Amino acid sequence: MKDRNMADKELIICRCEDVTEAEVLAAIEQGAATADEVKRLTRAGMGHCQGRTCRRLINQILARRLGQKPAEQKPVTQRSPLQPVSLKILADSKD
């Protein structure tokens, strides 16, 4: 099996923002110790799907790299809207 601590330059972790595993590991190298920091350094999780795919992967990479259990890593804050909604639909909504 491949050593998962080796950075894979090709492996996409966040497909919305095109962030690779190597970039996530570089952010951790730079001092990121939480998913919030990885997000802000790499933009992973800031794209169209809002981290639906990558947030678990990032927590796993962080935990593995920092010698923690994945559960010790807090997930990034989930923000509304939970899926992309057009300006028009929002503007036409009633409170």
Partner 1 sequence: MNRQDAKVAKVFNNVKHSLGSLRLRRKRNMSHTSDIIIIGGGIAGTATGYYLAKAGLKVALFDKGYLCSGSTGRCIGGVRQQFTSESSIKLMMESVRLFSGMDEELGVEVHWHPGGYLFLAHDEAKKKAFLENIRIQQAAGLKDVRWVDAAEAKEIVPLLNTEGLLGGSYCPTDGQAYPFAVVGGYAQRIKQLGGSIHTFTEVAGILQQGGKALGIRTSDGREFFADKIVNCAGPWAKDIGRLAGIEIPVEPERHEALITEGVEYLGIPMLVDYRADGGYFQQFKHNGQFIGCYTPVPNVPGTSCDSTFEFLTEMPRRMLKLVPALSEVKVIRQWAGSYEMTPDGNPIVDGTDLEGFYVVAGFCGHGFMLGPATGREAAAFIATGKRSPLLTDFALKRSYASREAMK
Distance CA 42, CA 65 (A): 17
Residue 33 corresponds to which amino acid?
A
| Least distance to partner 1, CB of residue 3, Å | 27
Tokens of 14: 């966040």
| Least distance to partner 1, CB of residue 31, Å | 7
3-class secondary-structure state, position 54:
helix
Closer CB to partner 1, 5 or 80, in the complex: 80
| Least distance to partner 1, CB of residue 25, Å | 16
Which chain residues interact with partner 1 by CB under 8 A?
A: 30-34, 36-37, 40-41, 46-48, 50, 79-81, 84-88, 90-91, 93-95
Closer CB to partner 1, 30 or 68, in the complex: 30
**Nearest Cα residue to 46 out of 84, 22, 16:** 16
